[in-house]
Structure 1
Amino acid sequence: MTATPISPGPLPKKPRPRRRNGMTLALAIGAGVLALIAIWFFFLRGGDDADPYRTEAVSRGEIVRSVSASGTLEALVTVEVGSQISGQVTQVLVDYNDRVTRGQTLAVLDPQNQRSAVEQSQAQIASAQAQVSQAEAQVALAQAEYDRQKFLFDRGIVAQAALDTASASLRTARASVQSANAQVRQQQASLRANQATLGRTSITAPISGIVIDRQIEPGQTVASGLNVAVLFTLAQDLGRVQALISVDEADIGSVRLGQPVRFTVDAFANDNFTGEVTQIRMLPTAESSVVAYTVVVEADNPGERLLPGMTANADIILEQRRGVLRVPNSALRFTPAGVEAEQPTRRAGGGSGAAAPPGGGGQRSGGRGNMAASIIAELNLDAAQRAKVQPILDRAQQEARAAARAQGGGGQRRRGNNPAMAAAFNKAFDEIKPLLRPDQQTTLETLRGRFAGGGGRGTVWVLVDGEPVQRSVRTGATDGSYTEVLSGLNEGDQVITGGGPRAVNTQAQAQAARMAASGGAGRGGPRGF
């Protein structure tokens, strides 16, 4: 008998590994690595091996400090021609852009009524002259009667009453002659008035110039009244024009008569025109709570290309210095990443970056007479000039101190520029300027700019052997793009204007260190699987 093997039955299944736990761990480790790479890339990596700084060489050039404003061009002299009488226009003899001379007839009104008035006055004069003749005849008759009565009275033939009557008649006749002569003069005056009115029927040019506007046509009726209608507008001479520039109240204090002006117009965008400030009008204009003043600028107009009504975009030149050492303003603002720049040495009476006294010798502004002495030394005055200038500067210094005390003990000086000092010395500079030579006046305008905030201390970084080196400089005038350097740099120095390694984020650095110490994000995977 053969034994039949007994099937052992299904074997027990071995438990499969839990793959979900391993995949989650791998994903967590990968995410942590990516986070560390991102933190390093964006926050912890340093600069490239190549020099990343942007530099510009210190050079000599022009510094122009100006005030920008806009206005409208006008002719120097513009005359509106109207009519003093009413009437119908019969002729218009000129048109737009015609050149006319003084006294030339521009238009003619119908003269019929005025001619009739002249003829009537002539007739009235003739009538008055006839009355004079009649009165003179009456005088002759009265004189004869008086003589006869006098002859008879002398011989006792007539009484006194008859002589008195003849005398009164003679005086009356003579008075009638005077009255008749007065009537003649009155009618002559009326004739002259009517003749003048007749002459006004021809409208003539009061000046020589160009017709820039015409408001009438033949057949139109002109009515005179309190408001005379404008028939023509004449521009005297377009060889020179004036621009009415509107300057903000914050800038008007720097504008002076005689300052040069550069301007452009949209019609000739590539051409620059020059003029000169000839008038600063004191009447303010206010629009949207902004106060401005009108500055009149006169300019030559070669070829008469500039036309009345054009918009002038002007720059009023407050200060212009040529051939000065200068740096871009971006160099004064630059500081390398992770470096705290040393502040310029604090001067007495001023914070870092405050306007330095003109002498730049570290004198205390509170020292009696030091500011005035510094200005006199920099202007290089002779003995005669010094005797006149010294009292003016001493007075300005006293005014500045008094104003500073009134403002609270000089707190303005600690925060920066001192407006009281700038105003006092600016007034003094106006008095001093006529006493100086041209070269001294140039130096004076530089000092004026420093008192107004153009001078002071600053810091720049110079690239030396691939490394930034800090330099303290004394600055002068600025035009918004470049600043004059008075000391601290040499021509050709490479000042840094931008670029450089990126700043390191210390917070991100600390967070990355903590993550690295913990073994990465999600190290060990989720628990419980």
Structure 2
Amino acid sequence: MVFFSRSRIVFGTLPVVALLVWFVWGQGWGTPPKKFLTATVTVEDLEETVLASGTVKPFQQVSVGAQVNGQLQSLKAGLGDTVRQGQLLAEIDPLLPQNELLKSRAALLSVRAQYKARQAMIRQYELDFRRKQSLVASEAGSRADLEIAEAQLQSSRAELASLAAQISQAEIEIRIAEVNLGYTRISAPMDGEVIAVVTRQGQTVVSAQSVPTLLILARLDRMTVEARISEADVVRVKAGQAVSFNILGDPDRRFTSHIRAVEPAPESIARQDQMQGGGGSTAGGADAAVYYNALFDVPNDDRSLRTSMTAQVSVLLDSVRKATTVSVAALGKRAADGRYEVRRLVDGQPQTVLVTTGLRNDLSVQVLDGLKENDEVVLGEEPEPR
């Protein structure tokens, strides 16, 4: 009796347990609620910018070269020295230009002496010509002698004109020699600092084909940044826009300025012209990235900026103060009227709303309607734990 009684209890409880299991799992009690990745709608200042890499260069830079041949006799300025416009920087051995000047002066003296001698001969030929004219008029002389005298006079006058031209040429040669002698003393063309010494004292410079560089001067109290703007962004970048940048060595310091100009052509156009002029090929140029330089200047009184530094540039295109913003990751499909779908979290459940957007950047977008500050929006769903 006891055995049958226990069996009835066991078999009687099985349907109850099964029903309970079905009820729990069937009603979803065993499925954990979905967890969402969310973001909060905030009010903040929003900026739209273009990011670019740039190079810091001196506001002015000049290569000081030699225009005559000779040995660099002395350098009057060294690396890092500050110089003033007109200050003597270097001297080239003046012996050859001095000799050329002396030679030109001697040539001028020689031509002038020939000119005076020819003038004396012309006076003699004129007297002889007039005398023979008188003889022919009195039928005491031959016409042939008169013609010879006339030819000598005309020839001497032509030679005198040639000597006058040679005098002018000799005077020009003297001026050229004087200029070349002056070129042996090289002066600073502007105020600046010596940022490179290219030719050392004692070296021989030859300027036959190109001007050899001795020193490089630059103005470092003001620097120019050349920001490389991609062709996709350059249509939105204009002169006058605010710009800021930092350098790799001091990333926490921000330098600010305004764009002075955007170059109308990329730097690559000069390289292409050189290649074409030299017979090179420009094949593959269409596949290369195209960048345009945006130029802006910044004071450098503390000399913290150095030439050829890399600048991380941000160009401000537009800004809105106290804008209602949300993460761009919250934007869903775009509707036909231009609005975007956004899933707003209400009582733990997402509800789709349509929002009108305004200014945006890579991280945030301005919301003009459809959401308010502190609303929670869904970015995605958290992955289920494995």
TM-score by length of 1: 0.58
User: Please, which of 39, 42, 45 is the counterpart of residue 58 of structure 1?
Assistant: 42
SS in structure 2 of the partner of residue 107 of structure 1: strand
Q: 2:290 aligns with which of 289, 292, 295?
A: 292
Structure 1 residue 287: Cα displacement: 9.2
- The aligned amino acid for 1:295 is N
Distance 1:184 1:504, change over 3 A: closer
Residues in 2 aligned to 1:94 and 1:82: alpha-carbon distance in whole angstroms: 14
**How far has the Cα of 1:496 moved from its partner?**
3.9
Deviations 1:113-132 (A, max 9, x none): 11111111111111111111
State the partner residue of 2:32. 46
Aligned to 1:523: none
Match of 2:237 in 1: 255
Helix, strand or coil at the partner of 2:186 = strand
Q: Does 1:161 align with 2:144?
A: yes
Structure 2 residues without counterparts, runs of 5 or longer:
1-24, 269-283
Shift of 1:94: 1.0
Structure with more contact order per residue of length (Cα contacts < 8 Å, sep ≥ 6): 2
Q: TM-score, normalized by length of structure 2?
A: 0.78
Q: CA RMSD in A?
A: 3.2
Counterpart AA for 2:243? V
Do the aligned residues in 1 keep the contact of 2:231 with 2:292 (CA within 8 Å)?
no
| 1:275–1:297 contact (8 Å) kept in structure 2 | no
Instruction: Return the match for 2:135 from 149, 152, 158.
Output: 152
Q: Which amino acid aligns with 1:495?
A: E
Aligned letter for 2:220? L
Aligned residue runs from structure 1 range 9-88, under 5 A: 44=30, 46=32, 56-59=40-43, 61-88=44-71
Q: Offset of 1:150 from its aligned partner?
A: 2.3
Change beyond 3 A, Cα 1:172–1:56: same
- Once the 2 structures are TM-superposed, how far is the Cα of residue 208 of structure 1 from its aligned partner? 3.0
Q: Does 1:114 align with 2:97?
A: yes
Aligned residue-pair number: 342
Give the stretch that moved more between structures: 210-219 or 324-333. Answer: 324-333
- Describe the SS at the equivalent of 2:200: coil
Q: What's the offset of the Cα at 1:134? A: 0.5
Corresponding residue to 1:301 among 299, 302, 315: 299
Q: Which has the higher strand share?
A: 2
Q: Say if 1:504 and 1:99 are closer, same or farther in 2 by CA, change over 3 A.
A: closer
Equivalent pair of 2:341/2:352 in contact (CA under 8 Å) = no
1:326 matches 2:325: yes
As a proportion of its length, which structure holds more helix? Answer: 1
Letter in 1 for 2:304: R
Of residues 479, 485, 500, the one that matches 2:361 is 479
1:397-456 Cα deviation digits (max 9, x unpaired): xxxxxxxxxxxxxxxxxxxxxxxxxxxxxxxxxxxxxxxxxxxxxxxxxxxxxxxxxxx4
Q: Which is higher, the Rg of structure 1 or of structure 2?
A: 1
Superposed CA deviations along residues 353-407 of structure 1, whole A, max 9, x for unmatched, are xxx2xxxxxxxxxxxxxxxxxxxxxxxxxxxxxxxxxxxxxxxxxxxxxxxxxxx
Corresponding residue of 1:379: none
Secondary structure of the residue aligned to 1:78 is strand
Identity of aligned residues (%): 26
SS in 2 for 1:273: strand
Distance 1:255 1:53 in 2: 36
Residues 162-311 of structure 1 correspond to what in structure 2 (within 5 A)? 162-235=145-218, 237-277=219-259, 278-283=261-266, 285=268, 289-303=287-301, 304-311=303-310
Instruction: String of CA shifts for 1:218-263, please: whole Å, max 9, x gaps.
Output: 212112232332211122x334322222333433343333332221
* Structure 1 residues 288 and 463: alpha-carbon distance in aligned structure 2, compared to 1, 3 A threshold: farther
CA drift of 1:88 comes to 0.7
Determine the C-alpha separation between the residues in 1 that align with 2:39 and 2:107: 97
In 2, the alpha carbon distance for the partners of 1:121 and 1:47 equals 103
* Helix, strand or coil at the partner of 1:238: strand
Q: For the Cα contact (< 8 Å) 1:81–1:205, is it kept in 2?
A: yes
Q: What is the CA-CA distance between 1:71 and the residue it aligns to?
A: 2.0
Q: Using the alignment, how far apart are the partners of 1:46 and 1:163 within structure 2? A: 136
More off after superposition, 472-481 vs 250-259:
250-259
The answer on whether the counterparts of 2:53 and 2:227 sit within 8 Å (CA) in structure 1 is yes
Cα distance, 1:332 vs structure 2: 4.2
Q: Is the 8 A contact 2:41 2:371 kept in 1?
A: no
Gaps of 5+ in 1: 1-38, 334-342, 349-355, 357-455, 509-529
